[in-house]
Structure 1
Amino acid sequence: MLRRILAVPAGLIAGMICITIIEKIGHQLYPPPAAAGSGDMEAMKEYVASAPFMALFFVIIGYALAAFVSGFTASKIANNGKHTSAAVCGVIFLFITLYMMFTLPTPLWFWVLGVLVWGLVWVGSQFALKTRKI
């Protein structure tokens, strides 16, 4: 029972680490203005509205990796043979993603990929369930 309770926070933490790492790489290649990093939401909106494709695509790559890793981690830790913990992680991340997309002026392709990519939690979960139990 404890494993199933801890599986979701562990999956969320693993996913957040993935997003952070990939976005840091993206920011090294496509640096946002200093004001955008200081919490100035208007500066961030301006940056997102004019950001090059790859700057935004790094966010999608981060989401994809986070989806897979969080699904894998949650299912592996839950160790109950079900996708439930992974699905909860995916839904939580999806709601966060939707909030960010409503807040920032993201293009249509970002909306489509930003929603679809969270389906990868199932792929990560499936992979976890097929590998040797811990």
Structure 2
Amino acid sequence: MGRTILGMLVGVVVAIAVIAAVETLGHRFWPPPAGLDPTDPANEAAFAAFIAGMPFAAKLLVLVAWVLGTFIGALAAAKLARHQTAAALLVALVVLSGVVGMIMKVPHPTWLSVAGLLLPIPVALLAVRLVHRRTTLPRVP
């Protein structure tokens, strides 16, 4: 049980770090307007306008951040945990909760919202499959 909880914690931290790193990279290419604080409710309209005006590539990078963060976080969780699927799915659920929060706070394009809601669980299960497959393959002498 301890290894599974550790795997979940590490996986969530890794997922958040990867998402933050990829989104930071995106901000280097497509910086938000100076003074825009997305955490300030008074700036919600300005933040929504910023999201709406982002080029397609910038929006795609947001999706890449969510998917890559889920995958690497779930991979880390599954490698550490005894209950690999549970640990990886918890990572996906944490990412999903962040996606839902962002969608509710700021309108996103429909394709980005749908993909952000549909992809984390299959990506986490793929990570589990890769870890499980690697740990169950017979060793060649």
- Contact 1:73 / 1:128 at 8 angstroms: preserved in 2? no
TM-score (norm. length: structure 1): 0.89
Match of 2:91 among 89, 92, 100: 89
Which residue is 2:65 aligned to? 62
Q: Which amino acid aligns with 1:113?
A: A
Q: Which residue of 2 aligns with 1:77?
A: 80
C-alpha distance 101-38 of structure 1, shift in aligned 2 (>3 A)? closer
Determine if contact 2:38/2:47 at 8 Å carries over to the other structure: no
2:14 and 2:76 in contact (8 A); partners too? yes
Alignment-mate amino acid for residue 95 of structure 1: S
- Distance in 2 separating the partners of 1:105 and 1:33: 18
8 A Cα contact 1:35 1:43, kept in partner: no
- Runs (4+) of structure 1 exceeding 6 A deviation are none
Query: How far 1:37 moved relative to its partner?
Result: 4.1
Match of 2:50 among 25, 47, 51: 47
Unaligned stretches of 5+ residues in structure 2: 137-141
Partner of 1:4: 4
- Residue equivalent to 1:21: 21
Paired residue total: 132
1:121 to 121, 124, 127: 124
Q: Secondary structure at 2:119's aligned position in 1? A: helix
Partners of 2:124 and 2:37 in 1: CA distance: 29
Which string of whole-angstrom CA distances, capped at 9 and with x for unpartnered residues, describes residues 45-97 of structure 1?
A: 221122111111111011111111111111111034x4111111111211221
Which residue number corresponds to residue 98 of structure 1?
100
Q: Which runs of 5+ in 1 are unaligned?
A: none
Per-residue Cα deviation, 1:101-122 (whole angstroms, up to 9, x for no partner): 1111101111121112202011
Instruction: Please give the per-residue CA displacement for 1:17-66, whole angstroms capped at 9, x wherever unaligned.
Output: 11111111111111111232464333212211221111111110111111
Larger Rg: 2
Question: Normalising by the residue count of structure 2, what TM-score does the alignment of the two structures yield?
Answer: 0.85
Aligned to 1:111: 113
Change (3 A) 1:105 1:123: same
